[in-house]
Structure 1
């Protein structure tokens, strides 16, 4: 299986919204309220607006398996208010909207997406990859633990939204002596909510 990541464009917005709708229905069938309005998730229109802004900023990528879109991830240095402290944000990149197409579940697409976040952090000279996960989705928490993330804390009641389980992992350098210039960068970097 060949997984390739490419920077997403505005033309990928319908694909990313379709992935979110697909995954929300899959989660609901398993009793999860993740991303549902009843669960205090963002309606698809608000999600589309947020992803559109990330696309405009060059912060979103699409994973392809043998040329087929298989997943998406947004990586930047922002988070919802009350989740990560300013110093935590200063030393990390933050993962948002990671979604794997159900047709490719179990084929390590998510691992490739998270490894890409590591590479972006490394190129931006950031030591951590951080994310917020739906607070009540213990299966998702287990997924991130298996991917090497540790639960930093559950954000307090002052935090915005239902994704208050805060996970982090130290960046594992791909090439410790790397000196080559970056092919990718993150908007706002000098030198360079999540679901399965």
Structure 2
């Protein structure tokens, strides 16, 4: 399997990929990702070079967004002063479930974060999805805190405020990595 940067022409495929994941989550009783993701926001992250795809042959097996930008309102100023990279939208195709592909992608992300001089690989997870939180804990992440206050957009409860981190470090992930070297992070 190989990992590549997503391209603008992959937009419709990645949106469909997310819809597949949302349907599966709904079957499990979770409301995670029940609202469609705005295509323009996904396209912007693709163009920024932060969306990556795992290909198995010609098919997409998984996707991950890895960015040096934290979602606003989640991390403290002290935490943001430490060089970090943030995982978003990690999704594995149902056809590839149960093969530790998500764990390998997290290892790839941690290795990439290390190569970018990050201290931490961080993420926020769906606040009510205990299964997902347990998964991240099993992957070596440590729960930092859960942010529950309303967000600035609609005043409702924050749905993705379970925060976790693990040290960024070099690790063998097993992918043929066809991504450019990450830009080095500096102290903020």
Normalized against structure 2, the TM-score is what? 0.84
The list of structure 1 runs, each at least 4 consecutive aligned residues, that deviate by more than 2 angstroms after superposition, is 65-68, 85-90, 158-161, 172-175
Pick the aligned partner of 1:133 from 102, 125, 132. Answer: 125
Q: Is the 1:83–1:159 contact (alpha carbons within 8 Å) kept by the matching residues of 2?
A: no
| Superposed displacement of residue 61, structure 1 | 0.5
Which of 22, 25, 34 matches 2:23?
25
Deviation at 1:65, TM superposition (A): 2.2
Aligned counterparts, 1:85-104, within 5 A: 85-89=76-80, 90-104=82-96
**Alignment RMSD:** 2.0
- Residue equivalent to 2:41: 50
Match of 2:8 among 10, 16, 41: 10
CA contact (8 A) 2:108 2:171 kept: no
2:83–2:185 Cα contact (<8 Å) kept: no
- Which residue matches 1:154? 146
Q: Deviations over 1:37-81 (max 9, x none)?
A: 4xxxxx33x2x2222111101111101224421010011122222
Equivalent pair of 1:63/1:109 in contact (CA under 8 Å): no
1:31-180 map, 5 Å? 31-37=29-35, 43-44=36-37, 46=38, 48-89=39-80, 90-159=82-151, 161-174=158-171
Instruction: Specify every segment of 5 or more residues in structure 1 that has no aligned partner in the other structure, as ranges.
Output: 38-42, 176-181, 191-196
> How far has the Cα of 1:183 moved from its partner?
3.8
Equivalences, count: 174
2:7, 2:101 → 1: CA distance? 19
Q: TM-score, normalised by structure 1?
A: 0.81
Aligned-partner Cα distance in 2 for 1:10–1:23:
20
More off after superposition, 128-137 vs 116-125 = 116-125
Q: 1:154 offset after TM fit, Å?
A: 0.2
